[in-house]
Structure 1
Amino acid sequence: MKKLLALLICLFYLENQPTLAQNLPPIFGTNVISEKDARIKQYLTATRIVWKTSGTGISGEQNLLRPGTGQADLVHQNICTLTSKEGEKPGLILDFGKEIQGGIQLVTDQPSDHRPIKIRLRFGESVSETMSEVDTVSGATNDHAMRDFVIEVPWLGVMQAGNTGFRFVRIDLVDDNRELQLKEARAIFEYRDLDYVGSFKSNDERLNTIWNTGAYTVHLNMQQFLWDGIKRDRLVWVGDMHPEIMTINSVFGKNEVVAKSLDQARDITPLPGWMNGISAYSMWWVLIHRDLYKYQGDKQYLKKQQKYLVALLDLLLSKIKDNKENLDGTRFLDWPSSENPKAIHAGLHAMMIMTLDAGAELCTILDEPAQAQKCKAASTNLKLYVPDANGSKQAAALLALSGLVPAQKANSEVLAVDGCARMSTFYGYYMLQARAKAGDYQGAIDCIRNYWGGMLDMGATTFWEDFDLDWTKNAAPITEIVPEGKDDIHGDFGAYCYKNLRHSLCHGWASGPTAWLSEHVLGVTVLEAGCKTIRIQPNLGDLKWVEGTFPTPMGAVKIRHEKLANGKIKSTIDAPKGVKVVDGNL
């Protein structure tokens, strides 16, 4: 009996351990790990030396551009040597070619002095950030991730340091009269090893690059959780997640980081609290679940949200007064609209309608008819009042998407005015969506080329927390030391929480064009949950052809559209079994 009881206890223990913990070496016995890191590491060799201090303190720096092994040895060949004197501290900047998340691996050789050597490391999303000081002037910080610090490296060994978002690294000797012999300096690239199931390609290479850059921006932020920035902020901001999740749906399909992050936000936000302290972000949580169910069709996962969802909808219903939104908590759409209270009210009122409509959909699916009816009735009453966007493109987009204002009216009077002026990287997605609803596909495509393409022109390999085309008029790209008389595109601009070099140059909320191009140009709209039925209706604008793939739970749909001489579109579609395709042109 005792043996049976012991066996049952052992089986219970094994069944209740994280499955990934089974790979622990036997010597660990009953030690428990909470989870295995879902990411992999790759080592990258620098593509160029951006800069080095003048004088004779550095030699052999081109050796750092040679592929390495990560192993110290006794051969003493192909070494970069940095030698300091009193008052002369050598340093150099390496460019790894693309923005990445991770750190740096330094492999040292064997100078005559065996003592550890102090070096200063500065990681930067731009060259100017690597040349900055952590102060209140330039905006450079160590907030969220250490990117400027002093470490010691060993004699004839390997040191790994850093955990941040960067493309450039500066290495400086700290002490006088020391010699650093560097065999290798490789970037440590940490990311989820994912297949890009979705794709987009057209005759316009600029649009192709924008689609891929948006996809890569979100990919980098798919770390242990879904962050909005790999340098700053490395947090789960629920509103920021909506465009990210729409991009994930269009590029990667289902991924566990989405549910993990949504559930974390739910579990640390007991009601009546607002997620991240922001009422709109709790509304985005509802909208995300509606869109996630539409794309993935995972009813079992949706059922896990039922209790919280119904209670949250009750909370939202209690924040209506005289058929107007009366939300408390932090009242926020995005930073550029944060000083326009009339626009915030208009946006929140529109979001309340959108959320209650989505809540009614979800409650119908979850067999909560009474709650669904309450949401529908409240939404109908809210639509009796139409607030003024007060010139805000953010508010105008939401008013159009909620149906409060005709999309053509919002577009002609606000959204299309002055082209890309007063855009924002987060709400730019909803501005594009509203312009599509208005039928202004060409205007939206042009805006994508100019606004998101403007970041590419400044050297971006990921999309930024915020951007204004006016910044570029006299600016040097992020890949250069800023010349005399030029503006620093990274260090001279920004506002609110992203002033100057604190500005994140990899922010997932800026990925909207990727999802938008897949939906409106490639033409895929999900009609039935889990992509069981999709409509394909391309809007090529001035494009000659477009092709790509779209992920569904049943596999990828392959699509190609060509514009014929008579202006009609010839489409070739190959859908997997289980996916019904409706031709939107019929």
Structure 2
Amino acid sequence: MSDKTGQSIIDPQNLIKLGTGQADLVHRNISRLVSTHEVRPGLVLDFGKEIQGGLQLITDQPGDHRPIKIRIRFGESVSETMSDVDTISGATNDHAMRDFIIDVPWLGMMQIGNTGFRFARIDLVDPNRDLQLKEVRAVFEYRDIPYLGSFKSNDDRLNQIWNTGAYTVHLNMQEYLWDGIKRDRLVWVGDMHPEVMTINAVFGKNDVVAKSLDQARDITPLPGWMNGISAYSMWWVLIHRDLYKNQGDLEYLRKQQKYLVALLDQIMQKTKDNKENLDGGRFLDWPSSENPLGVHAGLHAMMVMTLDAGAELCTILDEPAQAAKCKEVSTNLKLYVPDANNSKQAAALLSLAGLVDAQKANTEVISQGECERFSTFYGYYMLQAKAKAKDYQGAMDCIRNYWGGMLDMGATTFWEDFDLAWTKNAAPITELVPEGKDDIHGDFGAYCYKNLRHSLCHGWASGPTSWLTEHVLGVSVVEPGCKVIRIQPNLGDLQWVEGTFPTPMGVVKIRHEKQANGKIKSDIDAPKGVKVLR
């Protein structure tokens, strides 16, 4: 609060009482903000958790019946609510209005806002006004969908990370599958891949995935690249392969057939001397963007992965000639192995594409400095590469340290980017930044996410959720539609893990427990129609 003397902010504790959303004529439990020519009071509310939505303000009956002008500032951190929209702090109204002035009524209700936030600041704008607030409530807008998948172990930190990744994606499942709820309220196809993997592990089939994939297809006639980025059109192919593997929806896959075959032709034309020669935006993720050799290596690996996936899909879609063509070009591309140039992103993709030995990629590049040079987006593929190298314990340690590092800074959703080095002298997002401390939100970030423009709820950062389900709980899909799944747990230093996995036939229930002799005892309950390999 701007005033703790009780002179300009009176009875603020009433704002944390349970309300009804209805103005009344009783005039009890009112909080008041009273302005003068010298004083414009304001306060910050913490709703305890990041949400997508806005505010509902219920006013009472001051003597002056004119509407009262207030300023509202939503924030994903306390420091963001204290900012102005300027070129210094990085605070913006990009994609969603989070800083604006409105009039609120006398004895009525006002609902305002459509953004991502945990905190909200309210200030009186004009002098000599008496704002009488009965209630200020957060309005949370979300898809009311069950969490069919689950993960629980004897390590509460891993449990919290799994749940936070799931919740991060849930918030971004709006009309379309967004990447961010404050900024990046857009369908970014590459960013969707980790999100779709999380949705497969947590929610199962959901219409928002197909709606977003189809929107990207329909607004990107060939020879365009989705979002202007060649890799993102390749991710579109890979998402469809992974979606079909989990859901087995052949009818939906057939709707992609014409575009898919033509897109694969376009990708295969972008080679030269058995090397990727992609045009359009050449992008993996932001932290790797200043390493062109690493980007080349990553794109080359992605082209191999995409054509291998394309061959699978074309075989399913009765396109044998196109499947053979994809296999031939992929085989030729595998004759050339580019240097990752010390890029963890590129090394991960080269490993996953089978172009370099997984253990070599992990030892020489990905594990160097442990979680240093991770990114919240491509961290998922680094974890996948570590799993391929059988370094499950190293991956779990990175999940605890890197994604857990955001939780230590007050996060309730995972961020657009993060570096553990930022935390050394930083105050958490839940506090006003003390003198001599760094602002974890306002002092860091780069590229498009400098300072407070940085999104603290980004779906691409949810990778540990699906990774823990796949590699620790141990669930992988063998035949499309989960008709056959394999369950092979990797508990590392855990004593036990249990959870559920959604399939089109129902939920699989799983528990693994480490015995005194080190062997794992597993109890698995699968619905009819799901065959389990162990």
In which range does the TM-score fall when normalised by the shorter chain? over 0.9
2:332 aligns with 381
Structure 1 letter corresponding to 2:102: I
SS of the counterpart of 1:162? strand
Give the counterpart letter for 1:193 in structure 2.
Answer: D
Name the SS for the 2:294 alignment partner: helix
* Alpha-carbon shift at residue 566 of structure 1 (Å): 0.5
Structure 2 residue 514 is the aligned partner of structure 1 residue 560: no
Partner of 1:267: 218
Work out the CA distance in 2 between the residues paired with 1:498 and 1:87: 36
* Match 1:348 to one of 299, 302, 309: 299
Alignment-derived partner of residue 396 in structure 1: 347
SS of the aligned residue for 1:81 comes to strand
Letter in structure 2 aligned against 1:350: A
Q: What is the CA-CA distance between 1:87 and the residue it aligns to? A: 1.9
Alignment of 1:546-585 (within 5 A): 546-583=497-534
Unpaired runs of 5+ residues, structure 1, are 1-50
Q: Structure 2: which amino acid aligns with 1:308?
A: Y
Counterpart Cα distance in 1 of 2:4 and 2:168? 36
CA distance in 2, matches of 1:454, 1:540: 22
Q: Give the match's secondary structure for 1:180.
A: strand
Partner of 1:473: 424
Report 1:202-241 matches (<5 A). 202-241=153-192
Identity of aligned residues (%): 82
Alignment of 1:161 with 2:104, yes or no, is no
Tell me the distance in 2 between the aligned counterparts of 1:187 and 1:510: 25
Q: Aligned equivalents of 1:484 and 1:261: distance in 2?
A: 45
Give TM-score scaled by structure 1 length: 0.91
Superposition pairs for residues 4-403 of structure 1, below 5 Å?
Answer: 51-55=1-5, 56-403=7-354
CA distance in 1, matches of 2:221, 2:382: 32
TM-score under structure 2 normalisation?
1.00
Partner residue, 2:476:
525
**Mapped partners of 1:349, 1:87: distance in 2:** 63
Give how far 1:54 is off.
4.4
How many angstroms apart in 1 are the aligned matches of 2:38 and 2:374?
Answer: 48
Residue 491 of structure 2 corresponds to residue 511 of structure 1: no
The separation in 1 between residues aligned to 2:396 and 2:38, in whole angstroms, is 54
Q: Distance in 2 between matches of 1:121 and 1:274?
A: 39
In structure 2, C-alpha distance between the alignment counterparts of 1:465 and 1:332, rounded to whole Å: 16
- Provide Cα deviations, 1:265-312, integer angstroms capped at 9, x if missing partner: 000000000000000000000000000000000000000000000000
SS at structure 2 position matched to 1:496 = coil
Report the RMSD for the aligned CA atoms in angstroms: 0.5
Aligned-pair distance for 1:60? 1.1
Stretches of structure 2 that go unaligned for 5 or more consecutive residues are none
Runs of 4+ in 1 over 6 A off after TM superposition: none
Question: Per-residue displacement from partner, 1:437-476 (whole Å, max 9, x unpaired)?
Answer: 0000000000000000000000000000000000000000
Amino acid at match of 1:319: K
Partner residue, 1:21: none
Secondary structure at the aligned position of 1:191 is classed as coil
* Cα distance in 2 between the residues matched to 1:97 and 1:86: 33
Partners of 1:103 and 1:197 lie apart in 2 by 27
Mapped partners of 2:17, 2:503: distance in 1: 41
Match status 1:441 vs 2:441 = no
How many Å separate the matches in 1 of 2:127 and 2:42?
A: 13
User: What's the secondary structure of 2:141's corresponding residue?
Assistant: strand
3-state secondary structure, aligned to 1:577:
coil
Matching residue of 2:445: 494
Map 1:450-465 to 2 at 5 A: 450-465=401-416
Candidates 411, 414, 433, aligned match of 1:482: 433
Determine the structure 2 residue equivalent to 1:47: none
Map Cα deviations across residues 12-36 of structure 1 (whole Å, 9 max, x no partner).
xxxxxxxxxxxxxxxxxxxxxxxxx
1:218 to partner: Cα distance: 0.1
2:190 maps to a residue whose letter is G
Q: How many residues align?
A: 533
- Structure 1 residue 53: Cα displacement: 3.2
Q: What is the CA distance between 1:176 and its match in structure 2?
A: 0.3
